C-alpha cells in the first residue's frame, strides 16, 4: 500500500511515534501527581506532540482512503485535525501559564453554585 509519498512503513513509524509520545505523557502525568513539577510540563509537551503526530497520521490515512470513501474520509480528517488542534492549543495555554489544566480540559468535581 502506498499512500501518496509515504508508504505503509512510514505510516507505521508515525503510529509508533504517536504511541510512544502518548505513553511518555502518561508516565509524566503519573510522575507529576506523585512527585510534582517539572513533570507536569513534560506531560503537556508529550501530549501535544502525540496530538500533532495523530493529526499527521490522520492526514496519511486520508491520502490512502479518500478514493474509496471521499465524503466519509474528509469528515474523519476534519474531526481528527480539529481534535489535534484543540489538544495542542490547550497544551500551549497550560504550558504558557495562561490557563490552568482544568480550563484546558475539564474540572472534576464540578464547582458548586
Classify residue 76 as exposed, middle or buried by CB count within 10 Å of its CB (0-12, 13-18, 19+).
middle
Per-residue pLDDT, 44: 87
- How many of the other CB atoms lie within 10 Å of CB of 102? 11
- pTM value? 0.75
In a domain, 100, yes or no: yes
State the residue range of the domain holding 98.
2-104
- Distance CA(34)–CA(82), nearest Å, equals 32
- Asked if residue 110 belongs to a domain, the reply is no
Is residue 111 assigned to a domain?
no
pLDDT given at position 103: 62
Per-residue pLDDT of the chain (113 residues; tens, 9 = 90+): 444 555 677 788 889 999 999 999 999 989 988 887 888 889 889 999 999 999 999 888 888 777 777 888 889 899 999 999 988 888 888 888 777 666 655 554 445 45
Tell whether 112 is covered by a domain. Answer: no
Residue 78 lies in a domain: yes
Judge whether 96 lies within some domain.
yes
- pLDDT at res. 11: 85
Please give the tally of structural domains in the chain. Answer: 1
Which sign does the torsion angle of CA 3, 4, 10, 13 carry?
A: negative
Residue 52 maps to a domain: yes
Residue 29 placed within a domain: yes
Amino acid at each position: 500500500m502506498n499512500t501518496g509519498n509515504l508508504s505503509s512503513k512510514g505510516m507505521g513509524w508515525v503510529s509508533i511515534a504517536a504511541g510512544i509520545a502518548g505513553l511518555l505523557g502518561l508516565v509524566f502525568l503519573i510522575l507529576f501527581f506523585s512527585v510534582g513539577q517539572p513533570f507536569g510540563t513534560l506531560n503537556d509537551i508529550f501530549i501535544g506532540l502525540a496530538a500533532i503526530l495523530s493529526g499527521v497520521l490522520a492526514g496519511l490515512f486520508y491520502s490512502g482512503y479518500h478514493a474509496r470513501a471521499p465524503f466519509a474520509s474528509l469528515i474523519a480528517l476534519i474531526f481528527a485535525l480539529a481534535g489535534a488542534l484543540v489538544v495542542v492549543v490547550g497544551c500551549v495555554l497550560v504550558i504558557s501559564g495562561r490557563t490552568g489544566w482544568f480550563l484546558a480540559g475539564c474540572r472534576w468535581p464540578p464547582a458548586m453554585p
